[in-house]
Every structure is written in C-alpha cells, then in structure tokens.
C-alpha cells in the first residue's frame, strides 16, 4: 500500500528501532523498501521474513517488505526516507552515496542522538546543503522502547516537524491500536531532549550499579530534568530565539527521560550499570554488542555546551567518566552534594 502523502517509504537501518518502526508500518499494510547493511540479514528477511539479530519474534508478511543491501536503490525508489541507524554511523551511511540524491525527499529522523563527526542533529547537518528544506523534515521521539513495540504493548510516539500536513501524515502512518501518536513543531527541543536523556540514563545505570537506591535515583532524575530544561531554554535563547517555545511538560521530555532511566530495556541504563559495577568503558561496549547512544552524545553535548557556554554539570560529570578517567564512584560522591 502506497501512502498518498508520503509516497513510497524506505527505512534505512535494521537495528531494533528500525525493525520496530518497520513492524508498525507493515502491520497497517504499508509496503516498505528496507536498507539492511548486512547481506546475510537481508537474505534472512527475504527468505524467512524476520530479522535474525533484532526483535527476532517479529514476523513480516513477505509482500510488505523489500529488503536490500543497496542503499542507492532505497534512496532512488522512495519519496520518504526514515533514517533509523545509530547516530554514530548515520553520517557515514548517508555519505556512502551521493547525498545530493536526498534533494526533494521527505526525511524522517528516527536517530536518537547527534552525529558525532559534526556534533549536529540530523536536520542541522543537512542544512549545510542548500537544497535542504526543513519543511520536509520530521523527527520521531518517544517514550517508546522497541521491545515493547514488538510485544504490541501500548506505546507513544511524538512527531516534530514544521509542516503540519507532512507531520500529521507521518504521525497517522504510525498510528495503530498499540501506538498512540501526537505531533508538534518542536524539532530542536524534542531531539535535544532525546539526546540528553540517553546521557542521563547512563548515569542512572551507574547509580544502580553502585547500589544507590530508588530514593536517590528519584532525586537524581529530578535534577536531570531540571538541567535538561535549563539547557534547552538557554539553547533557544542563543540559537533559535524567534522560534516558539516547546512545551517541556510532555511525554517527549519527562516521559522519555523516565523510561530511559528506569526501564530494563534501556541500553543506556544497561551500559551505565556495567560501568557502575566496575566494567571499563571498552569492556562494557564489547559485552553489550549494541550502541549506547549516550556514549557519543556525552562527548557531543560537552562540545556544544562549551561552544554555547551553557553549563550542564550532571551531563558533564557523566562525560568525565565516559571520556576521561573519573571513576563512577568518585563522580557520584561529588554529585550527591550537588543534588537537591
């Protein structure tokens, strides 16, 4: 089924989040072109109709998916591209083809981070090209874990874009009995909130690994939300003073922060928990065999905050653990007296 507003839809990326998004769309009968980096995974999807590595319980009707390991095919054949690769690889994936082929395409970002090579959100990276039209851009944020989508447990998605017709069409394409959707104009706020909550979730995991209890964690998350609010307010003042202020008291902000800090599905929390239990950063990464978006986000946000002269002491403390030599226990012994 072809969506009248979105045209042919392609998904770039077949990790757990890309697979979850593919499930939501195909459950409604939408056919998708699907770029899969690994040729073995692509052939598995073609012949056995499920992803052999991520959300393996999700089965796809063969007529709803067109898997390929040729990115150029997806970009050429699709009007709307959903970018769902980890932020650490997104820029190199897009630059593996002639990026000018994205001209005129509708871009839906399902990236939960900033591009580490440039420390930019996807829309700000694309804005370097004169053909990029921000009206053709929509960002997907949560709170929504891929694992619960696979189980069809009720989840919520927020869609942010400047063009109401496009943004509402994307939201409608994902709306289902187990997915509730809302949409707004809050491109920068919602995306930066998604970046920051991954950093804070690593800290929450470290606290759990260090045997801090729920009482401390509730105070920690409260302070994280306050810091997020202050960063975003300052960011809008310095970078986007003419834009409408986002509504910070929505599920895309507090809700996504809470679920990422508390949920056992959260890979950022899992990563932090390993660090709190004594794993080195490198060993934790090897053990997980998945990307914790907050790891690269911590470095990127540290650079952005320096450039804009915005203080965020909790995120900076987590950066010092991930990219410096600060032991998690030392970080939290100092942080205890900063929280209120």
- Domain CATH for 280: 1.10.1040.10
Residues 159 and 224 in one domain: no
Residues 53 and 116 in one domain: yes
Residues 153 and 223 in one domain: no
Q: What is the DSSP string of 229-271?
A: HHHHHHHHHHH-TTSPPP-SSSIIIIIHHHHHHH-TT-HHHHH
Beta strands in the chain (DSSP E): 9-12, 32-35, 65-68, 80-83, 106-109, 137-141, 155-161, 179-184
Residues 171 and 254 in one domain: no
- Cβ-based neighbours of 107, under 8 Å, separated by 6 or more: 80, 81, 83, 122, 123, 126, 136, 137, 138
The number of folded domains in the chain is 2
Residue 340, in any domain of the structure = no
Residue holding tokens 């959903």?
82
Residues 207 and 128 in one domain: no
pTM of the model: 0.93
Residue 2, in any domain of the structure = no
Q: Are 50 and 59 in contact (CB under 8 A)?
A: yes
Strand partners, 33: 10, 66
Residue 1, in any domain of the structure = no
Closest CA to 170 of 195, 129, 135, 143: 135
Residues 224 and 300 in one domain: yes
**Tens digit of each residue's pLDDT, the chain (340 residues):** 566 689 999 999 999 999 999 999 999 999 999 999 988 988 999 999 999 989 999 999 999 999 999 999 999 999 999 999 999 899 999 999 999 999 999 999 999 889 988 999 999 999 999 999 999 999 999 888 899 999 999 999 999 999 999 999 999 999 999 999 999 999 999 999 999 999 999 999 999 999 999 999 999 999 999 999 999 988 888 887 666 667 777 788 999 999 999 998 899 999 999 999 999 999 998 888 777 899 999 999 999 999 999 999 999 999 999 999 899 999 999 999 888 8
Residues 96 and 138 in one domain: yes
Residue 161, in any domain of the structure = yes
Domain final position from 130, 150, 185:
185
Residue 147, in any domain of the structure = yes
Domain final position from 164, 185, 206:
185
Residues 149 and 215 in one domain: no
Strand partners, 182: 158
Residue 45, in any domain of the structure = yes
> Which domain range does residue 226 map to?
188-335
Residue 327, in any domain of the structure = yes
């Amino acid at each position: 089924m072809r969506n009248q507003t979105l045209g042919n839809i392609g998904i770039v990326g077949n990790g757990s989040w890309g697979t979850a998004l593919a499930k939501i769309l195909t459950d409604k009968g939408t056919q998708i072109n699907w770029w899969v980096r690994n040729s073995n995974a692509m052939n598995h999807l073609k012949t056995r109709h499920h992803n052999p590595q991520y959300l393996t319980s999700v089965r796809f009707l063969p007529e709803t998916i067109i898997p390929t390991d040729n990115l150029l095919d997806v970009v050429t054949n699709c009007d709307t591209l959903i970018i769902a690769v980890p932020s650490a690889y997104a820029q190199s994936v897009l630059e593996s083809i002639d990026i000018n082929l994205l001209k005129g395409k509708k871009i839906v970002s399902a990236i939960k981070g900033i591009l580490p090579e440039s420390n930019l959100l996807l829309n700000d990276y694309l804005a370097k090209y004169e053909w990029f039209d921000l009206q053709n851009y929509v960002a997907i944020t949560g709170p929504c874990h891929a694992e619960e989508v696979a189980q069809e447990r009720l989840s919520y998605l927020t869609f942010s874009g400047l063009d109401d017709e496009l943004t509402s069409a994307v939201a409608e394409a994902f709306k289902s009995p187990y997915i509730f959707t809302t949409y707004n104009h809050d491109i920068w706020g919602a995306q930066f909130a998604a970046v920051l909550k991954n950093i804070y979730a690593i800290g929450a995991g470290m606290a759990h690994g260090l045997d801090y209890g729920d009482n401390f964690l509730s105070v920690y998350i409260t302070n994280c939300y306050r810091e997020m609010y202050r960063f975003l307010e300052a960011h809008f003042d310095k970078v986007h003073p003419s834009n409408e202020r986002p509504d910070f008291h929505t599920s895309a902000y507090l809700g996504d922060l809470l679920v990422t800090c508390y949920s056992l599905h959260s890979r950022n929390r899992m990563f932090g928990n390993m660090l709190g239990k004594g794993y080195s950063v490198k060993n934790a990464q090897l053990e997980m065999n998945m990307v914790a978006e907050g790891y690269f986000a911590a470095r990127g946000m540290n650079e952005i905050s320096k450039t804009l002269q915005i203080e965020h002491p909790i995120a900076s403390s987590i950066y010092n653990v991930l990219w410096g030599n600060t032991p998690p226990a030392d970080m939290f012994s100092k942080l205890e007296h900063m929280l209120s």
